């Protein structure tokens, strides 16, 4: 990717993200109408990780409409709701094999596949959606290794940071001391390590299994984003919600490379520019799903309790997380990445973009 193209993408990213930050729910159309009318149709299979009646339904329709506009209607998108075509954990393999044509891949359930991207799920690193997305855009521009993470069988389009995750439990956790000995199920290995450092007994489980494991008492609580609570109705069992603010990871939107090659150069350029808007629209879908649960359903009137740890506990948590930063840094250095520089840039940029 040329420097000029990167800068264009990032400027567009900032512009669209800023619009989303002030509450834009449905983005304007892109104006990317294709001029070719005699080219063959392209079938595009897109798995969507939620039901059609969720906020992701708006995202799915947005993808469908924009793909049609960019290609003058020749891209025929079929949406597979609730991952009915392939499970979320298999999206990356399915993309490389051509089973699906366009999908997002969650780093949190693809451990080791995108090692540099995994920095954003190390506890204590990620900030708000806006700050993390902007920091990732800067990293992608400065360090070519970020783009080289991806298989040549796929084409990178966009990245979206997930909302931070909290602890949802069957009994109240009001302090670090209350976590001792509890069995906690986590979306990512990093979250599990964090829980172990805080004194719990932790395991990594798919978010799709969290409800049944809570129901059966296999775990006492789970670390999950609020969108997951909404989609899976975890609050029916877990009535206590302790704010720990752990990142479940980020998602990369990718094309299958063979599908990508079917587009004209003009269409490809427009898809690349669409990435910024797609990132923002994904964030809107996740944030809307999370907001509806966090502030409309999790209320004392509905038998739900939200808990904020003491300032002393929060400061202690920061100290306990530091070894996980060092572990990621050493692991990346062993692979030849400039890990210390990447970490420092990430911390600097997320703080800068989070400044109030």
Highest mean pLDDT among 58-67, 167-176, 270-279: 167-176
Residue 326 domain-assigned (yes or no): no
Q: Does residue 220 share a domain with residue 255?
A: no
Same domain, 23 and 156: yes
Give residue 35's pLDDT: 46
Q: What is the pLDDT of residue 8?
A: 46
Please indicate, yes or no, whether residues 218 and 71 belong to a single structural domain of this protein.
no
Judgement on whether residues 155 and 266 belong to the same structural domain of the protein: yes
Global confidence as pTM: 0.81
Query: How does pLDDT run across 294-317, given as a tens digit for each residue?
Result: 777 888 999 999 999 999 999 999
3-state secondary structure of 245: strand
In a domain, residue 277? The reply is yes
| pLDDT at 22 > cutoff 60 | no
Domain boundary among 238, 267, 291: 291
| pLDDT of residue 14 exceeding 60 | no
pLDDT number for residue 108: 78
Q: Which domain holds residue 196?
A: 165-247
Same structural domain for residues 256 and 216? no
- Provide the CA 55 distance to its chain's centre, in angstroms: 15
Token pair in block for residue 296: 């409309």
Q: Which residues contact 319 (CB under 8 A, 6 or more apart)?
A: none
Q: Give 319-342 pLDDT, tens digit per residue.
A: 999 999 999 999 999 999 999 999
Share of the chain above pLDDT 90, in %: 63
The CATH number for 215's domain is 3.40.190.10
Q: Is residue 91 part of a domain?
A: yes
At 25 the pLDDT is: 34
Does residue 350 lie within any of the structural domains? no
The pLDDT value recorded for residue 204 is 92
In a domain, 271, yes or no: yes
| Residue-level pLDDT at 103 | 97
Is the pLDDT score of 346 beyond 50?
yes
134, with CB counted inside 10 A (0-12, 13-18, 19+), is buried
First vs last Cα of the chain: how many Å apart? 33
Report pLDDT digits (tens) over 228-242: 888 889 999 999 999
Question: How do residues 237-267 score in pLDDT, each as one tens digit?
Answer: 999 999 998 987 889 999 999 999 999 999 9
178 with 284, same domain: the answer is: no
Q: How confident is the model at residue 13 (pLDDT cuts 50, 70, 90)?
A: very low
**Span 45-57, mean pLDDT?**
84
pLDDT, one tens digit per residue, over 193-242 is 999 999 999 999 988 899 999 999 999 999 998 878 888 899 999 999 99
Based on the fold, state whether residues 63 and 182 are members of the same structural domain: no
Is 319 contained in some domain? no
Name which residue leads in pLDDT, 25 or 132: 132
Number of domains forming the structure of the chain: 2
pLDDT band at 289 (very low <50, low <70, confident <90, very high): low
Residue 213 is classified by DSSP as H
Shared domain for 154 and 41, answered yes or no, is yes
Q: How far apart are CA 183 and CA 58, in angstroms?
A: 36
The last residue of one of the domains, among 191, 221, 247, is 247
For residue 5, which of 271, 260, 252 has the smallest C-alpha distance?
A: 271
Task: Say how many C-beta atoms besides its own lie within 10 A of residue 281's C-beta.
Answer: 24
Give the per-residue pLDDT at 24: 33
Q: How does pLDDT run across 90-139, given as a tens digit for each residue? A: 999 999 999 999 999 988 778 889 999 999 989 989 878 888 989 999 99
What average pLDDT is seen over the chain?
87
Residue 266 within any structural domain of the chain: yes
The predicted pLDDT at position 18 comes to 40
Task: Indicate whether 19 and 59 sit together in one domain.
Answer: yes
Q: Are residues 7 and 86 in the same domain?
A: yes
* Domain boundary pick from 232, 266, 291: 291
Q: Which two tokens stand for residue 350?
A: 């997320």
Q: Do residue 215 and residue 107 come from a single domain?
A: no
Q: Is 8 contained in some domain?
A: yes
Asked if 256 and 230 sit in the same domain, the reply is no
CATH number of residue 80's parent domain: 3.40.190.170
Query: Residues 264-284: what's their mean pLDDT?
Result: 92
What is the mean predicted confidence (pLDDT) over 58-73? 94
Comparison of pLDDT for 108 and 79, the residue scoring more: 79
Q: What is the pLDDT of residue 37?
A: 59
């Amino acid at each position: 990717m040329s420097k000029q193209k990167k800068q264009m993408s990032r400027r567009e990213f900032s512009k669209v993200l800023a619009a989303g930050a002030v509450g834009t729910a449905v983005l304007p159309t892109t104006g990317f109408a294709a001029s070719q009318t005699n080219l063959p149709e392209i079938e595009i299979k897109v798995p969507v990780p939620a039901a059609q009646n969720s906020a992701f339904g708006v995202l799915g329709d947005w993808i469908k409409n924009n793909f049609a506009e960019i290609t003058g209607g020749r891209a025929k998108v079929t949406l597979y709701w609730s991952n009915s075509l392939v499970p979320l954990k298999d999206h990356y393999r399915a993309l490389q094999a051509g089973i699906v044509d366009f999908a997002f891949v969650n780093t949190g359930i693809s451990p080791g596949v995108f090692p540099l991207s995994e920095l954003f799920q190390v506890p204590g690193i990620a900030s708000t959606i806006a700050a993390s997305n902007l920091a990732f855009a800067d990293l992608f521009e400065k360090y070519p290794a970020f783009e080289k993470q991806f298989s040549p069988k796929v084409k990178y389009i966009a990245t979206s940071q997930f909302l931070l995750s909290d602890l949802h439990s069957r009994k109240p956790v009001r302090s670090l001391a209350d976590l001792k000995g509890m069995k906690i199920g986590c979306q990512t290995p990093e979250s599990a390590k964090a829980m172990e450092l805080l004194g719990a007994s932790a395991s990594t489980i798919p978010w799709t299994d969290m409800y049944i494991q809570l129901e059966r008492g296999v775990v006492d609580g789970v670390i999950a984003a609020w969108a997951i609570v909404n989609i899976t109705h975890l609050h029916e069992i877990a009535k206590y919600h302790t704010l720990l603010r752990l990142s479940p990871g980020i998602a990369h939107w990718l094309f299958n490379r063979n599908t990508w090659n079917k587009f004209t150069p003009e269409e490809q350029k427009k898809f690349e520019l669409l990435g910024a808007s797609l990132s923002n629209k994904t964030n809107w879908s996740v944030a809307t799903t999370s907001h509806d649960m966090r502030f409309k359903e999790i209320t004392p009137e509905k038998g739900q309790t939200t808990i904020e740890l003491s300032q002393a506990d929060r400061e202690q948590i920061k100290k306990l997380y530091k070894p996980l930063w060092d572990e990621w840094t050493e692991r990346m250095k062993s692979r030849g990445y400039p890990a210390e520089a990447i970490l420092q840039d990430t911390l600097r940029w997320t703080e800068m973009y989070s400044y109030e």
